[in-house]
Amino acid sequence: MTPVFAPKSTTSYPLYLVTPDTLEAVAGTLPLHAQNWVQANGFKGNAGETLVLQSETGAIAGAVVGLGAPETAARRRFTAASAANSLPAGDWELTGDLSDELATETALGWLLQMYRFDRYATQPQAQARLVAPANVDAPRIEAIAAGEFLTRDLINTPAADMGPQQLEQAARNLAKDHNAEIAVTTGADLLDANFPLIHSVGRASPNAPRLIDLHWGKTGPTLTLVGKGVCFDTGGLNLKPGASMGLMKKDMGGAATVLGLAHMIMALNLPLQLRVLIPAVENNVDGNAFRPGDILTSRKGLSVEINNTDAEGRLVLADALALGAEENPDLMVSMATLTGAARVAVGPDLAPYYTDNDSDAAALETAAKQAADPVWRMPFHTPYESMIEPGIADLDNAPKGGFAGSITAALFLRRFTSDTNYMHFDIYGWNPSAAPARPKGGVGMGARALLDALPDMLKL
Ligand code: BES
Ligand code: MN
Ligand code: ZN
């Protein structure tokens, strides 16, 4: 489905956004029976409260939606948008003088709230649509929502229908939509082209491993996005127990998020040169699978001792990051569902990220607040470098003990980025329970914050 606003029409229902403080004034503009109805229902204007209004003959006449007091509003973004789900199908229009910020957040949140994973649904559902408020940049909001929908669809699609080949197809479709160039290296060709780690991780799957390389834009600063595309993570020979494997269709969440962000960048025609690199593999079990104890030599030449085949994400990313760093872009960003440790540290809402660049971090923090896309900075703590050095090879892919598991994974990746200005996100890609504008299931994290920060980080 495509997230779009309803066309402006005369048949839309008015939607009144109220706080406990403005309730009286707003209710005063309604016909007497509606005022009584608001009062009789005990509507107070608390966050998320929604009440449909009716005409004297019982037709839908609009709705009031509570924003809550300013203190609670700060704890909960997209409050007004969350009403989208509890309103009857039809077209709705915001009333009153809303600030640009509230109008934009409500409009974006509304589209994000409308998301349904309907690929396997046999019955279409009618939805409440929003007429774009006059004071928002509607095409921009639609482009952002479309990118996020792409991310969610890719994550939610089960691995049987979203293997490396299908992920390649999704990237090809995106490239076609935006006139981007795309090249893909597959199977044994990965060895000839010197991507040994991608091949090693992916070779046990009948759905062959590949490296997807997309280019767009002819002028401006250079940005390379690298996304972990592990279409399913069984753990490999270090097989995951069932409970840990259950959700591993989402292990291409980094790839899905960078593709969603790429859509936003290209649809909004940002003045930059974009490259997207996705190592797409399935970490599977087979007689030819890579093993614990194997020592592999990476594209960059660093040798890696495999101490756990379940620490596969950093391996496939290492070769992709090495390739990305070869042309020293102005900024390289990786996104990956890389460690369980990141989830233990910050839970499912926050996108933990790493960078050595303080001004990029400041730009990202500001943008994250504005975009209601929260991030949290983690340290590239150099003293822990010794934890990823096993002795018999240059690097260890799975340090024993698991101390600082997200940090050691990030340090591992940084080894492959040479001198490139580098930022890494260790995301979860999944919403365990529904929240405003974030339905349960696959979700992009950090992409909207990055989109808003790019002008600052790349001096666009
Ligand atoms: N894809 C997982 C990480 C993951 C697990 C992310 C659960 C989100 C939720 C990754 O490939 C993995 O298995 N990492 C291991 C690394 C360990 C073996 C060093 C982990 O985090 O346990
Ligand atoms: Mn794994
Ligand atoms: Zn994984």
Tens of pLDDT, residue by residue over 382-426, are 999 999 998 899 999 999 999 999 999 999 999 999 999 999 999
Give the residues of the chain that fall short of pLDDT 70: 73-75
The residue whose CA has the least distance to atom 13 of ligand 1 is 310
Which ligand has the nearest atom to the CA of 405?
1
According to the model, what pLDDT value does residue 74 have?
Answer: 66
Q: Which fold has domain 13-114?
A: Leucine Aminopeptidase, subunit E; domain 1 (3.40.220)
Ligand 1 atom at shortest distance from the alpha carbon of 313 = 11
Question: CB count, 10 Å around CB of 308?
Answer: 17
> At the top level of CATH, which class does the domain 142-458 belong to?
alpha beta
Percentage of residues in the chain with pLDDT exceeding 90?
Answer: 93
Rounded distance from Cα 290 to ligand 3 centre (Å): 15
Q: Which residues surround ligand 3, an ion (CB under 5 A)?
A: 230, 233, 251, 313
Ligand 1 proximal residues by C-beta, below 6 Å: 233, 251, 308, 310-313, 337-341, 343, 398, 405, 428
Query: Can 240 be counted among the known catalytic residues?
Result: yes
Q: Where are the domains of the chain?
A: 13-114, 142-458
What is the CA(287)–ligand 1 centre distance, in A? 23
Q: Going by CA atoms, what residue is nearest to atom 17 of ligand 1?
A: 311
Atom of ligand 1 nearest to the CA of 428: 8
Give me 364's structure tokens: 């990202």
Ligand 3 centroid–CA 427 distance in Å is 11
Report the pLDDT value the prediction gives residue 73, as an integer from 0 to 100: 66
- Using the structure block, give the residue that is written with the tokens 């019955």: 123
What rounded mean pLDDT belongs to the chain?
96
SS3 letters across the chain = CCCCCECCCCCCEEEEEECCCCHHHHHHCCCHHHHHHHHHCCCCCCCCCEEEEECCCCCEEEEEEECCCHHHHHHCCCCHHHHHHHCCCEEEEECCCCCHHHHHHHHHHHHHHCCCCCCCCCCCCCCEEEECCCCCCHHHHHHHHHHHHHHHHHHHCCHHHCCHHHHHHHHHHHHHHCCCEEEEEECCHHHHCCCHHHHHHHCCCCCCCEEEEEEECCCCCEEEEEECEEEEECCCCCCCCHHHHCCHHHHHHHHHHHHHHHHHHHHCCCCCEEEEEEEEEEECCCCCCCCCCCEEECCCCCEEECCCCCCCHHHHHHHHHHHHHHCCCCEEEEEECCCHHHHHHHCCCCEEEEECCHHHHHHHHHHHHHHCCCEEEECCCHHHHHHHCCCCCCEECCCCCCCCHHHHHHHHHHCCCCCCCEEEEECCCEECCCECCECCEECCCCHHHHHHHHHHHHCC
Pocket test for ligand 1, best of 231, 310, 443 (most atoms within 8 A of CB): 310
In angstroms, rounded to a whole number, what is the distance separating the alpha carbons of residues 279 and 105?
A: 34
Amino acid at 14: P
Q: What is the pLDDT of residue 84?
A: 84
CA dist 384 and 403 (Å) reads 9
CA of 338 to the centre of ligand 1 (A): 6
The verdict on whether 44 is a catalytic residue reads no
Residue partners of 40: CB distance under 8 A and separation at least 6: none
CA distances for 10 relative to 7, 196, 289, angstroms: 10, 61, 62
Question: How far is the centre of ligand 1, averaged over its atoms, from the C-alpha of 245 (Å)?
Answer: 10
Distance CA 29, CA 55 (A): 14
What is the sign, positive or negative, of the torsion defined by CA atoms of 17, 19, 25, 27? Answer: positive
Compute the distance between CA of residue 199 and CA of residue 186 in angstroms, rounded to an integer. Answer: 9
> Residue 267 in contact with residue 213, Cβ under 8 Å?
no
- Residue of 314, 414, 415, 438 marked active site: 314
Q: What is the pLDDT of residues 229-264, one digit of tens each?
A: 999 999 999 999 999 999 999 999 999 999 999 999
